[in-house]
Amino acid sequence: MSSSLLSNLTEMDANAAPATDVIKYLIAESIAPDVCAFRRNTQVSYRLVDRARDIFNRINTLIRSVDEEDNWDNYDKFTAAIDPLEERLFSLTALAEDESSQYLSDSTSLDACITSVSKWESNRAGLRTALRDLFSHSAFMALDSRDDSDDIKNACKHDDLTYLSDLCQSMSNNTLKESGRGLVPQHIQSISTELNSMQTKLSSVTVIDELVVLVIRYALVVYGTMELAVDPTQNEDWTNHFKSEQVWDLVKNNLAQLGRELEAETPPISELEQKYEEFLELLRNIPGVKLPDSYLDLMKYAGKIRRPYHSQALALVSLCRALAKQFNLSANKVSKNVYPLEVAFDETIKALKAGMDAVTQLKASSFEDNSDAIEAFEAAQQKIQSCFMHYGLTADWNMHKSKLDAAIENDKKRMDQLNDKLAKRPAHTPHNEAHSDMITVTLKICLGSRTGSVLRDTLEVGVRPTTRLAAIRWSAAQALSDSEIRSKTAEKSHFEPEIADDSEVPEELSLDTPISSLAEERKCNLYLIIPG
C-alpha cells in the first residue's frame, strides 16, 4: 500500500528541467517517503505533497512552452514559482521527518506525554498552514488557481476524527478501567462515553478549531496518563497518583462541560483552556510532594551578602536552582526526593546567613578571615553534592563544582582589587571623619540673568572638595521638575559668583573649576543662570 501511495504521490514529469531538480528531490526523495509513514495528519499531508507535485509539473510544462513559443508571460510565471516552492519544501522536510515517527502520546513519563501533545498541535498546524499556502500564494495561483478550500476542510476534519478515534480505541485496550481503585473505573467509563459522544458531534456539526484541539489534547493526555498508571516501571508515587479518584473525577467533569460547549454559539474558550491547564497542574503535582518552602527563601539573601562571599553565595543558590529544576521533572518529583532537597536548601541558607553576618560593612577583608563562614559554605557544598549524587547527576555536579570554584576565585580577585583600592582611598561611611571635608554649595537658580526670575531661591548641594562645577550643574538640574528647564540647565546653564557690588559685571565661572577653589570654610554661594 505504501509503495502504491508513494508512486501516486511522486508521479512527476519524466522530462523535468534542470532548474527543478531540487524540487523533484525534495518531493520524491524526502517529503513523500516520510508522509507515507504518517499515522496521523495523513489526508492533509497527502494533499500537500499532491499540490507540490502538481505545481512542479506545471512549472515544467511552462518551461517547455517557453522553448516552443517564446512566451515571456509563461517565463515570468515559472521563474516566479521555483524559489518559493523550494523554500517551502525545505522548511517541510524537518516537519515531515519528525511527524513520520509520531503517533499517540509519549507515555514514557508525564513530561514526555505533555510535550508530545504540544508536538501534535504544532505539527498539525504546520502541515495545514503549508497546504493552504500552496493554494493561496500568488506565484502558485498563477500556475493553477483552482479553489480546493472545501476539500481541505474535509481533509482536516477527517484527520482530526480519525486521530480521536485511534486514541479512544487505544484507551479501550488499557487495563486501568478494570484495575483502578474506588470510583476510578466508573469515571473512566464516563470519560470514554463522553469522548465517543464528542466524536459524533464533531462529525456532524461545525465546531471551532480551538475546541477540536482541546478535545484531542484531553484525549492525548488521558491516554498517556492511563498508560503511565499501569506501567510497572514507573515510580509508585506517580502510579498511585495517576490512579487517584481526584485525577479522574476532574477529567470527567471537565470533559462533560467541554462536550456541552461544542455546539454553543459563543463557547467560553478562555474558561475551558484554564480548566485544561488546571488539569495538567493537578497531574504534575503529587499531593504532598513539592519543593520545600525554603527554596523561595534562597533568593532573599543574595543582595545582602558582601564580598568576599558574594560570588560563591550566588553559586550555591545556582546549584540549588539546578536541583529544583531536576526535582520538577516528573521522573524525580516523588516523596523520596524531597528530604535531600530540604537538607541541601537548609544548609545553603545557613551558609548565606553566615556570609551575611561575616562582613557587615565595606572594608578590607578576605575569605579566610571568618572560620564560621568557611565551615558553613563547605557544609552547604557537601549537602548539595550529596543531593546531586542522590539524583544520579555526577556529571552535572562536576560541571557545577567547577563554576563554584570559579566563583570562589572571583571573590578573591574582587577582594584583592578592593583591598588595594581601600588602602589608597578609605571608604566613606556615616561615621567616617573623612566626611568633615565636605563642602556645602548654596545655589540661587535664575532665568536669563542673576536679576531675572528666580526659579529656586535656595538649593543646597553637599560635595567633596575635588568636585567640579560641571558635576554640580548636573546635580542641580536633577532637582528641577520642569523637563524643558531641566534639560536647559544640564546643557546650557552657567555659574556666577556672589559679588558685593551689583554694578560689577559678573564673571562666568568655568565648569572645569573645582569647588575647593571657590569655597571658604567649606561653604560656597553661587548663582546658576539658565538661558531665557
273 lies in a domain? no
pLDDT in 10s for each residue of the chain, 532 residues: 344 555 666 677 778 999 999 999 999 999 999 999 999 999 999 999 999 999 999 999 999 999 888 889 999 999 999 999 999 999 999 999 999 999 999 999 999 999 999 999 999 999 999 999 999 999 999 999 888 889 999 999 999 999 999 999 999 888 887 766 677 888 899 999 999 999 999 998 888 999 999 999 999 999 999 999 999 999 888 888 898 888 999 999 999 999 999 988 899 999 999 999 999 999 998 877 788 888 899 988 878 888 888 888 899 999 999 999 988 887 777 778 888 888 899 999 999 998 888 877 777 666 566 678 889 999 999 999 999 998 888 888 888 888 888 888 888 888 878 777 777 766 655 444 445 678 999 999 999 988 888 988 889 988 989 899 999 999 899 888 888 898 999 889 999 998 877 677 788 999 999 999 999 989 999 999 998 7
DSSP string of 379-441, one letter each residue = HHHHHHHHHHHHTT-HHHHHHHHHHHHHHHHHHHHHHHHHHHHHHHSPPP-TT-GGGGG-EEE
Is there a single domain that holds both residue 368 and residue 448? no
Query: Long-range contacts of range 408-411, CB-CB < 8 Å, 24 or more positions apart?
Result: 408/311, 408/312, 408/315, 408/367, 410/311, 411/307, 411/308, 411/309, 411/310, 411/311, 411/312, 411/367
Is there a single domain that holds both residue 18 and residue 143? yes
What pLDDT was estimated at residue 433? 42
Is there a single domain that holds both residue 91 and residue 122? yes
Is there a single domain that holds both residue 411 and residue 339? yes
Is there a single domain that holds both residue 298 and residue 326? yes
Q: What CATH number did the domain enclosing 481 receive?
A: 3.10.20.90
| 147, 169, 192 - which closes a domain | 147
Is there a single domain that holds both residue 334 and residue 370? yes
Cα torsion 177, 178, 184, 190: sign: positive
91 lies in a domain? yes
Domain span holding position 500: 433-530
Strands (E), 275-314: none
What pLDDT was estimated at residue 100? 95
Separation of alpha carbons 34 and 499, rounded Å: 91
Is there a single domain that holds both residue 408 and residue 367? yes
Is there a single domain that holds both residue 405 and residue 439? no
3-state helix, strand, coil in the chain (%, to 5): 65, 5, 25
158 lies in a domain? no
155 lies in a domain? no
Residue 131 cell numbers, joined:
497546504
Separation of alpha carbons 23 and 55, rounded Å: 10
Residue 45: name the closest of 95, 86, 109, 1 by CA. Answer: 95
Is there a single domain that holds both residue 417 and residue 460? no
| 125, 147, 169 - which closes a domain | 147
189 lies in a domain? no
172 lies in a domain? no
222 lies in a domain? no
Write out the H or E segment, with its range, that includes residue 148: none
259 lies in a domain? no
Is there a single domain that holds both residue 412 and residue 458? no
Separation of alpha carbons 234 and 271, rounded Å: 33
Lay out the sheet containing 439-447: strands in order across.
Answer: 453-463, 439-447, 523-530, 494-497
- The radius of gyration of the chain from alpha carbons, rounded to an integer in Å, stands at 37
Q: How many domains does the chain have?
A: 3
Is there a single domain that holds both residue 302 and residue 420? yes
- Phi-psi region at 70: left, alpha or beta (left = phi > 0; alpha = psi -120 to 50): left
| 147, 167, 197 - which closes a domain | 147
Is there a single domain that holds both residue 49 and residue 110? yes
